[in-house]
Structure 1
Amino acid sequence: MIHFITQHTQLAEQSVKNTIALLNEDCTIPFISRYRKERTGHLDEVQIEAIVKYKEQFETLEKRKTAILKALEEQAVLSSELKQKIESAQDLTTLEDLYLPYKKNRKTKAEKARQNGLEPLAKIIMSQNANAIEPIAQKYVKGNVKSIDDALEGARHIIAEWINERIDIRNNIRRQLERFAMISTKVIKTIANTSTVLVTNENAQKFKDYFDWEEALSRIPSHRLLAILRAEKEGFIRVKIEIDNDRALNNIENRIIKSNNACAEHIKTAIKDAYKRLLFPSLSNEALQKAKEKADDAAISVFAKNLKQLLLGSPLGEKNVLAIDPGFRTGCKVVCLNAQGQLKYNETIYPHAPKNDSIAAMKKISSLCDAYKIEAIAIGNGTASRETEALIRKIRFKNNMQVFVVSEAGASIYSASKIAREEFPNYDVTVRGAVSIGRRLQDPLAELVKIDAKSIGVGQYQHDVDQSKLQKALDMVVENCVNSVGVNINTASKPLLSYVSGIGPKLAENIFNYRSENGMFTSRNTIKKVPRLGAKAFEQGAAFLRIKDAKNPLDDSAVHPESYAVVKQMAKNLGTKVEDLIANKNLLNKINLKQYCTNLVGLPTLQDIVKELEKPGLDIREQAKVFTFDKNIKNITDLQTGQLLPGIVNNITNFGAFVDVGIKESGLIHVSNLSDAFVKDVNDHVSLHQQVIVKVLEVDVPRKRIQLKLHK
């Protein structure tokens, strides 16, 4: 395992060995990367995740080897040479190729021919020594074999299967597919003949570019392959993988045919059959599947990067917020939240059509802001958002009021969820949705962890990629974000607590219930009183759980309880108290870290401790900033080529970034319009929720497409 992982990751053997030992001790990635740097050689989360990935790959490979060896032993066909080849296989493809000749076959043509006694004839043909094969074939005409042609055809089926099972031939075609395969698409004839379907069907229009398309499979971008495969799945196009068949066939013939007699002609026929019926269908599907896996990985990587940026979005912090879920006919749902996100009041106002009761709505908002000491207003960015924002900006507040437009993506999912029902059993979905909008402004991370990451809308083709792989990647992102920020144990929801290192859903529920029954946690030590929270869970999670205003100031820091004694000793040696060390750079600079090094605690951990003491519990996120769209732009028809507009990046893909310019449709800054120089990675130029200025390049109103350029 160690050799396999180091080969793939190029990480130091000792680092890999120690990391695997920690993983086997049920340590989490955030805990290992933050508090076990001495043992891992300072590996970060990404490197540890790579070790986990290849550890799982190795275990899957070993499990399959065991199953195959058992199956071959049962068939009594396991030679020492075959066993050695299987045991030394480094990937599943090689393993399955070795096993292919021994699979308990379905009823194939070759198997039927064997049952009819035609394998000896196939061997004679393959020996290529006979100049006349028909007289030999005549001997096999008996039973189910009615003629010489039947005998020769059956023998060719056996030969075709042998050719299909040859690893060198399979690998040669794989190489040709890797280098030369073309993927092409054609619109399905029945749809093409009904041209009105293509014009009027909105789903079909989305795939218009792929009604007649051809591209090298090795160079197709992930988003395009996923779009093509979705179009095929929805029944609009047919997809074909092609290579130069003549070259592939010649290559096989050169490997097998060594004579120029009658046998050679039959082998040629068998090669064509093997290639057309067995080799190409199987290996072209395999090539497409590998391309799909690569596209999945690219799409998941983009989704994960976007999610991380979204979760680590700027929080407003603990401030009283009035949140509005805007609407026309059904009105705007208004809620007032205190600094801890608790619902204090809710009401519906009707400032827009058809009621147009804007005066009463403005008065109500103004009075609520006074009554609940509101410090900021959050407006959802959905229907009627711009109109509601304009209304709010007309109100003359007594104090300087910050007004934010907040993304509603996934809010409706939360409002109908079990979590929302548990939090607000006496309120309907509209109130819950408005609460979610307000809380997102206060702390995006704490609120967004309650929503299935796939519903937040910061990826592309998320329903087309491998769902278990996607879920695993996104869960890892959420876990890393939650633990890098830290969690206030006295205000955190169950979903937020469940992502804390070593906690999980069951212990999160126990913490929540203990807090409800016994009141606030006053120290990290009291966390040990939570039912079923043992020493291991405490070790893994305690340092990520913060306790505000605790007697011990370290309880509101990222210093692990196991290091409290070291900090205490540092303070003692300086003739001061622990609390006097906090944020005191002069004192901290006097500490000689080397004198505190032991076999277990090295410089990396000590440096982290001092860094944390300088700014304990520092939130790594930037604070939320107010943003205003161009008030003259209310729908897509207001856009003109050449306009410069403020916008917010709301999605990033491999081919560019989508920007919200304050209307329903987001515009696309294609990768080629992000910079005048070559763009390798979109994330090098923009980040999610970044406020940007864009130039309008093109507006396609019928297709609702907006092309933008990043304005420097």
Structure 2
Amino acid sequence: MTKSQFIISRSGIASKNVENTLKLLEEDATIPFIARYRKEMTGNLDELQIGEILSFKQEYEELEKRKKSILKAISEQDALTPELEKSILEADDLTRLEDLYLPYKKKRKTRADAAREAGLEALAKMLMAQNSADIEAAAERFVGKEVASVEDALSGAKDIAAEWINENEGIRGRLRKIFERTAEISAKVVKKKEKEEAAQKFRNYFDWQERLKFIPSHRLLAILRAEKEGYLKVKIEVDPEEAKQLTGRSVLKKQPNSCTPYVEEAMEDALKRLLFPALSNEALTAAKKKADEEAIAVFSENLRQLLLAPPLGTKRILAIDPGFKSGCKVVCLDEHGRLEHNETIYPHPPQKEVSMASKKIKSLVNAHNIEAIAIGNGTASRETEFFIRKVPFDRDVQVFVVNEAGASVYSASKIARAEFPNYDVTVRGAVSIGRRLADPLAELVKIDPKAIGVGQYQHDVDQVKLKTELDRGVESCVNGIGVNLNSASEALLSYVSGIGPALAANIVAYRTENTGFSSRQELLKVPRLGAKAFEQAAGFLRIPDSENPLDNSSVHPESYSVVEKMAKDLKVEVKELIGNKSLLQKIKPEKYLSEKVGMPTLKDILGELEKPGVDPRKAAKVFEFDPNVKSIADLKTGMKLPGIVNNITNFGCFVDIGIKESGLVHISKLANEFVSDVNSVVKLHQHVQVTVLEVDEARKRIQLSMID
């Protein structure tokens, strides 16, 4: 099976589109570039479909690499037959491949190996052939120096037979289907840890059992985490009688004879000692992989929504990282996010310098022409918000509460130290809070996505896959919005198609030395930024003040000549086309079709010319929590409260209602009708109305409903 055939069979995407996309990927084109600028080649595939092709491409390459390794290993044992080689080459998944390799796989010395060394393999063959009238008499011939008795001879033969049954590809395949169809997962509490406080968060699973194929991903990950932490014992089991009957049909002859009881014993040993443990682990691994994929998909979608959260834009912002005893760290940022001033105020106990703090905030707002205030949502957030809303400002100042998850991670990072080498972590954290309000995307790319707090068991899933998917998601968001080449941070530039960390550093160094870029073409002067990187990156980079207005659009430089021809045909300058709907309506795109430029590209160009560089994100909106709710103790069943969705899982969403603890709206309480996908009802940062259903103050758990 070729690479294309492998991908087509799994993705269902047309062969021509797969082959062209593969060609582009193998030329090191990025997913955002292919999706945006090579629509004619791919048949207008979107980023998800191109990502799927890339994943299957990597899976195929891993499979082929493993085949070569296995063929080499078996050849070195002089055991590779033409039939076996054909089976290995035709294997289209790793499970089948490993089953074929199992009999030849190097392993620790087994009971079967010891029996073979004692010369009992011939007896095992006689046993499995099941055509001996008196197997005990036959076994007497093997008694000698290495084998003390007939019983020992038959015991060794059974060990060899059990290993053969275990390594039988057909038996493993049929038993695997039983596990896939009927396996049950059960969890039991470890008795000596049952009373521990840390174990209580898993108490729902102290005596749990359900079908493995139906267990939701969040439940499986929770159970596995509890097992890892030593609170639960987990088993995967199937009906042993069903497995025995299925195996017996492959192993036992229809007419019993003297061999039958021994073969049955060998079969039961193979099932209990070898097959059940191996296939149980395999079934659990497969279920964990599926759960990982679901959890990663949830995390990836949450991250995408968070990165694309509404920005306030170029405003002068006063940001506050609130606190009690240590005070509230205050910073003033200009419209470009540059730090102008920082200090600490103490409006809360124990100091409670309310009047002094109020005067200071009012003074800073006036002195720095502040337009908005950003308050972190951590400790003392509500108290700080109440304090700020009472300050008698002379101007209209918007007040926002900003999710500060991960700000402390950023403040201690290498990026933060490079940006603010002369300031401590408290100042850097407050700056991050303010910048998140101005542009969440530009600021959050500086933080490890796992630290942002919008995931579901993100520390329990496959970390390599998680990083790959999250990096791909960040790349998609950054390139979907576009980046200002003359103001973007090094971290933001590193996610631009074709750039990466090394070139991002070179771009910033060149920009600093040359006081910015005057055109996209100037990118080619950046050290080590060649034609390929330019091709991949240019369309996603913006230069607002460039002489060529197309440099501030998503029109790729390779298509400038098409726009110039459109303008020439209309007898106008290119800049007169931009935003001029009446002129653009006169353009007949089919006139500009060519071998390289198809209708999808032309439609994209015309759409961009009509609204160049439009940010698809909505503007940030002020939100106010219920002023009467300051802690979980203030909550009462039946209360209706405003809230902000701050995390989404596949079992519901969490809502910030203005206190330390977020409340859970279970998926069954999202709407009056059945909901299968939480994201179809709510999005991150959505403003919602909720009703308090239940408050467990001891466990700090709040159950909410969005049903009207």
Residue 217 of structure 1: aligned partner: 212
2:590 maps to a residue whose letter is K
1:187 offset after TM fit, Å? 0.8
- Partner residue of 2:17 out of 15, 18, 21: 15
1:429 maps to a residue whose letter is V
1:711 offset after TM fit, Å? 4.3
Residue 408 of structure 2: aligned partner: 412
For 1:251 and 1:581, locate their aligned partners in 2 and report how far apart those are by CA, in whole Å.
74
Residue 436 of structure 1: aligned partner: 432
For 2:595 and 2:392, locate their aligned partners in 1 and report how far apart those are by CA, in whole Å.
64
**Which structure 2 residues correspond to residues 549-568 of structure 1 after superposition, within 5 A?**
549-568=545-564
Residue 174 of structure 1: aligned partner: 176
Residue 120 of structure 2: aligned partner: 118
Residue 468 of structure 1: aligned partner: 464
The question of 1:633 aligning with 2:635 is answered no
For 1:260 and 1:219, locate their aligned partners in 2 and report how far apart those are by CA, in whole Å.
40
- Partner residue of 2:69 out of 57, 67, 72: 67
Residue 51 of structure 1: aligned partner: 53
Residue 675 of structure 1: aligned partner: 671
Residue 399 of structure 1: aligned partner: 395
Residue 500 of structure 1: aligned partner: 496
Contact 2:669 2:707 in 1 (8 A): no
For 1:702 and 1:72, locate their aligned partners in 2 and report how far apart those are by CA, in whole Å.
61
The question of 1:537 aligning with 2:537 is answered no
Contact 1:315 1:623 in 2 (8 A): yes
Contact 2:543 2:551 in 1 (8 A): yes
The question of 1:287 aligning with 2:287 is answered no
RMSD, matched Cα:
0.8
Contact 1:639 1:696 in 2 (8 A): yes
Residue 593 of structure 2: aligned partner: 597
For 2:506 and 2:129, locate their aligned partners in 1 and report how far apart those are by CA, in whole Å.
74
For 1:309 and 1:144, locate their aligned partners in 2 and report how far apart those are by CA, in whole Å.
70
The question of 1:582 aligning with 2:578 is answered yes
SS state of the match for residue 250, structure 1? helix
**Which structure 2 residues correspond to residues 36-435 of structure 1 after superposition, within 5 A?**
36-192=38-194, 195=195, 197=196, 201=197, 203-258=198-253, 259-435=255-431
- Partner residue of 1:685 out of 675, 678, 681: 681
SS state of the match for residue 520, structure 1? coil
For 1:458 and 1:281, locate their aligned partners in 2 and report how far apart those are by CA, in whole Å.
36
1:362 offset after TM fit, Å? 1.0
Contact 1:325 1:433 in 2 (8 A): yes
2:148 maps to a residue whose letter is K
For 2:90 and 2:342, locate their aligned partners in 1 and report how far apart those are by CA, in whole Å.
66
1:104 offset after TM fit, Å? 2.4
For 1:57 and 1:281, locate their aligned partners in 2 and report how far apart those are by CA, in whole Å.
26
**Which structure 2 residues correspond to residues 480-495 of structure 1 after superposition, within 5 A?**
480-495=476-491
For 1:107 and 1:325, locate their aligned partners in 2 and report how far apart those are by CA, in whole Å.
62
SS state of the match for residue 262, structure 1? coil
For 1:182 and 1:428, locate their aligned partners in 2 and report how far apart those are by CA, in whole Å.
53
For 1:185 and 1:557, locate their aligned partners in 2 and report how far apart those are by CA, in whole Å.
57
Contact 2:555 2:605 in 1 (8 A): yes
For 1:144 and 1:704, locate their aligned partners in 2 and report how far apart those are by CA, in whole Å.
67
For 2:367 and 2:574, locate their aligned partners in 1 and report how far apart those are by CA, in whole Å.
41
The question of 1:525 aligning with 2:527 is answered no
More divergent stretch after superposition (132-141 vs 41-50): 132-141
Contact 1:488 1:545 in 2 (8 A): yes
**Which structure 2 residues correspond to residues 650-661 of structure 1 after superposition, within 5 A?**
650-661=646-657
SS state of the match for residue 259, structure 2? helix
Contact 2:672 2:707 in 1 (8 A): no
For 2:583 and 2:391, locate their aligned partners in 1 and report how far apart those are by CA, in whole Å.
50
- Relative to the length of structure 2, the TM-score reads 0.99
Residue 604 of structure 2: aligned partner: 608
2:25 maps to a residue whose letter is L
SS state of the match for residue 160, structure 2? helix
Deviations 1:32-89 (A, max 9, x none): 0000101111011000000000000000000001111111211111111111111110
SS state of the match for residue 334, structure 1? strand
2:244 maps to a residue whose letter is L
Q: How many equivalent residue pairs?
A: 705
For 1:105 and 1:113, locate their aligned partners in 2 and report how far apart those are by CA, in whole Å.
15
1:551 offset after TM fit, Å? 1.2
1:99 maps to a residue whose letter is Y
Residue 705 of structure 2: aligned partner: 709
For 1:527 and 1:548, locate their aligned partners in 2 and report how far apart those are by CA, in whole Å.
15
1:422 offset after TM fit, Å? 0.2
For 2:21 and 2:237, locate their aligned partners in 1 and report how far apart those are by CA, in whole Å.
44
For 1:14 and 1:584, locate their aligned partners in 2 and report how far apart those are by CA, in whole Å.
37
Deviations 1:163-218 (A, max 9, x none): 001111111111111111111111112224xx3x2xxx2x2111111111111101
For 1:324 and 1:153, locate their aligned partners in 2 and report how far apart those are by CA, in whole Å.
76
Deviations 1:399-457 (A, max 9, x none): 21111000000000000000000000000000000000000000000000000001101
1:328 maps to a residue whose letter is F
SS state of the match for residue 213, structure 2? coil
Deviations 1:331-362 (A, max 9, x none): 00000001110000001000110111111111
- Partner residue of 1:698 out of 677, 694, 700: 694
**Unpaired runs of 5+ in structure 1?**
none
2:264 maps to a residue whose letter is K
- Partner residue of 1:445 out of 425, 441, 465: 441
For 1:533 and 1:652, locate their aligned partners in 2 and report how far apart those are by CA, in whole Å.
40
2:563 maps to a residue whose letter is V
For 1:97 and 1:6, locate their aligned partners in 2 and report how far apart those are by CA, in whole Å.
25
Deviations 1:535-556 (A, max 9, x none): 1111100111111121111111
For 2:324 and 2:635, locate their aligned partners in 1 and report how far apart those are by CA, in whole Å.
23
For 2:102 and 2:60, locate their aligned partners in 1 and report how far apart those are by CA, in whole Å.
21
> Following TM superposition, where does structure 1 have runs of at least 4 consecutive aligned residues deviating by more than 4 angstroms?
none
1:246 offset after TM fit, Å? 1.3
1:675 offset after TM fit, Å? 1.3
For 2:237 and 2:635, locate their aligned partners in 1 and report how far apart those are by CA, in whole Å.
43
Contact 2:454 2:648 in 1 (8 A): yes
For 2:268 and 2:680, locate their aligned partners in 1 and report how far apart those are by CA, in whole Å.
50
SS state of the match for residue 284, structure 2? helix
More divergent stretch after superposition (79-88 vs 48-57): 79-88
For 2:531 and 2:246, locate their aligned partners in 1 and report how far apart those are by CA, in whole Å.
64
- Relative to the length of structure 1, the TM-score reads 0.98
Give me the identity figure in percent: 62
Contact 1:693 1:711 in 2 (8 A): no
Residue 617 of structure 1: aligned partner: 613
For 1:363 and 1:143, locate their aligned partners in 2 and report how far apart those are by CA, in whole Å.
99
Contact 1:652 1:658 in 2 (8 A): yes
Contact 1:312 1:444 in 2 (8 A): yes
For 1:701 and 1:352, locate their aligned partners in 2 and report how far apart those are by CA, in whole Å.
24
SS state of the match for residue 207, structure 1? helix
1:131 offset after TM fit, Å? 2.5
SS state of the match for residue 487, structure 2? coil
1:95 offset after TM fit, Å? 0.4
SS state of the match for residue 186, structure 1? strand
